[in-house]
Amino acid sequence: MTDSKTPLLDELEKGPWPSFVKDMKQAAEKKPAAADLLNQLELSYKDRIGHWKHGGIVGVKGYGSGVIGRYSDRPDLFPNVRAFHTMRVNHPTGWFYKTDALRKLCDIWDKHGSGLTNLHGSTGDAILLGTTTDHLQPCFDDLSEAGFDLGGSGSALRTPSACVGPARCEWACIDSLDICYQATMTLQDQIHRPMFPYKFKIKVSACANDCVAAIARSDLAIMGTWKGRIQVDPAEVRAYADAGLDIRGEVRDLCPTKCMEWSEADRTLVIHDGDCNRCMHCLNVMPKALRPGKERGASILVGGKAPIVQGSLLSWVIVPFMKLEPPYTELFDLIARIQDWWDENGRSRERLGELINRLGMRHFLKAMGLPAVPQMVKHPRTNPYVFFWPEEIDKKEVK
Amino acid sequence: MSAEIKERVLAYFREKSKGEKKMFYIKDVVKGLPDVDRHAVHEAVKELLDEEALKYWSSGSTTYLMLAEYFPKDA
Chain A residues touching B42 at Cβ < 8 A: 195
Is the CB of residue B56 less than 8 Å from the CB of residue A153? no
For residue A381, pLDDT beyond 70: no
Check CB contact under 8 Å for B56 and A64.
yes
pLDDT for A62 equals 86
Domain span at A101: 7-145
| Tens digit of each residue's pLDDT (9 = 90 or more) over A370-379 | 988 888 876 6
- For residues A181 and B64, what is the distance between their CA atoms, to the nearest angstrom? 28
Whether A108 and A50 share a structural domain: yes
Residues with Cβ within 8 Å of A84's Cβ and at least 6 positions away in sequence, in order, are A33, A37, A52, A70, A71, A72, A114, A129, A130, A131, A132
> How many domains is chain A built from?
3
Q: Using 50, 70 and 90 to split pLDDT, how confident is the model at A198?
A: very high
Chain B residues touching A81 at Cβ < 8 A: none
Q: Has residue B57 been placed in a domain? A: yes
DSSP secondary structure letters along A339-379:
HHHHHHHPPTT--HHHHHHHH-HHHHHHHHTPPP-TT-BSS
Is the CB of residue A142 less than 8 Å from the CB of residue A150? no
- Please tell me which of the candidates B45, B60, B74 has its beta carbon nearest to residue A54: B60
pLDDT for A307 equals 84
Whether A263 and A188 share a structural domain: no
Percent of chain A with pLDDT over 70: 95
Q: Which 3 state secondary structure label does DSSP give A199?
A: coil
| Tens digit of each residue's pLDDT (9 = 90 or more) over A59-77 | 788 899 999 999 999 999 9
- For residues A279 and A260, what is the distance between their CA atoms, to the nearest angstrom? 13
Q: Has residue B75 been placed in a domain? A: no
Q: Which 3 state secondary structure label does DSSP give A295?
A: strand
For position B30, which CATH number holds? 1.10.10.10
Q: Does B57 touch chain A (CB under 8 A)?
A: yes
- For residues A137 and B60, what is the distance between their CA atoms, to the nearest angstrom? 18
Q: Using 50, 70 and 90 to split pLDDT, how confident is the model at A310?
A: confident
pLDDT for A46 equals 96
The angle formed by the CA atoms of residues B32, B37 and B38, to the nearest 5 degrees, is 65
- Please tell me which of the candidates A56, A71, A156 has its beta carbon nearest to residue B57: A56
Q: Does A151 touch chain B (CB under 8 A)?
A: no
pLDDT for B64 equals 95
- For residues A109 and A131, what is the distance between their CA atoms, to the nearest angstrom? 9
Q: Using 50, 70 and 90 to split pLDDT, how confident is the model at A1?
A: very low
| Tens digit of each residue's pLDDT (9 = 90 or more) over A350-359 | 999 999 999 9
Q: Has residue B62 been placed in a domain? A: yes
Element (H, E) at A53: strand A52-54
Residues with Cβ within 8 Å of A116's Cβ and at least 6 positions away in sequence, in order, are A23, A24, A27, A34, A37, A128, A129, A130
Whether A213 and A194 share a structural domain: yes
Whether A317 and A369 share a structural domain: yes
Looking at A245, A271, A291, the residue that finishes a domain is: A291
For position A333, which CATH number holds? 3.30.413.10
Whether A299 and A285 share a structural domain: no
Q: Has residue A77 been placed in a domain? A: yes
pLDDT for A61 equals 86
Chain B residues touching A55 at Cβ < 8 A: 57-60, 75
pLDDT for A2 equals 57
Q: Has residue A156 been placed in a domain? A: no
pLDDT for A387 equals 66
Q: Does A343 touch chain B (CB under 8 A)?
A: yes
Q: Has residue A397 been placed in a domain? A: no
pLDDT for A385 equals 57
A27 burial via Cβ count (<10 Å: 0-12, 13-18, 19+): buried
Looking at A252, A271, A291, the residue that finishes a domain is: A291
The pLDDT of A279-308, averaged and rounded, is 95
For position A247, which CATH number holds? 3.30.70.20
Domain span at B56: 3-69
Whether A54 and A96 share a structural domain: yes
Looking at A291, A307, A337, the residue that finishes a domain is: A291
For residue A36, pLDDT beyond 70: yes
Q: Has residue B28 been placed in a domain? A: yes
The interface predicted TM-score (ipTM) is 0.93
Report the range of poorest mean pLDDT among A129-138, A359-368, A383-392, B19-28. Answer: A383-392
Whether A270 and A303 share a structural domain: no
Check CB contact under 8 Å for A56 and B74.
yes
Q: Which of B25, B43, B62 to mutate to test the interface with A (most CBs of A within 10 A)?
A: B62
For position A110, which CATH number holds? 3.30.70.2500
Q: Has residue A154 been placed in a domain? A: no
pTM: 0.92
pLDDT for B2 equals 84
The larger pLDDT score, comparing residue A147 to residue A57, is at: A147
Whether A344 and A243 share a structural domain: no
pLDDT for A17 equals 87
Is the CB of residue A56 less than 8 Å from the CB of residue A47? no
Question: Dihedral, CA atoms, A342, A126, A12, A49, nearest 10 degrees?
Answer: -50
The larger pLDDT score, comparing residue A16 to residue A225, is at: A225
Structural Rg of chain A based on CA atoms: 25
Q: Has residue A192 been placed in a domain? A: yes
Average pLDDT, chain A: 92
The pLDDT of A191-219, averaged and rounded, is 96
| Tens digit of each residue's pLDDT (9 = 90 or more) over B4-49 | 999 999 999 999 999 999 999 999 999 999 999 999 999 999 999 9
Q: Has residue B74 been placed in a domain? A: no
> How many domains is chain B built from?
1
Q: Has residue A392 been placed in a domain? A: no
Q: Which residues pair with A87 in a beta bridge?
A: A67, A128
Q: Has residue A11 been placed in a domain? A: yes
Q: Has residue A394 been placed in a domain? A: no
Q: Which residues pair with A295 in a beta bridge?
A: A227
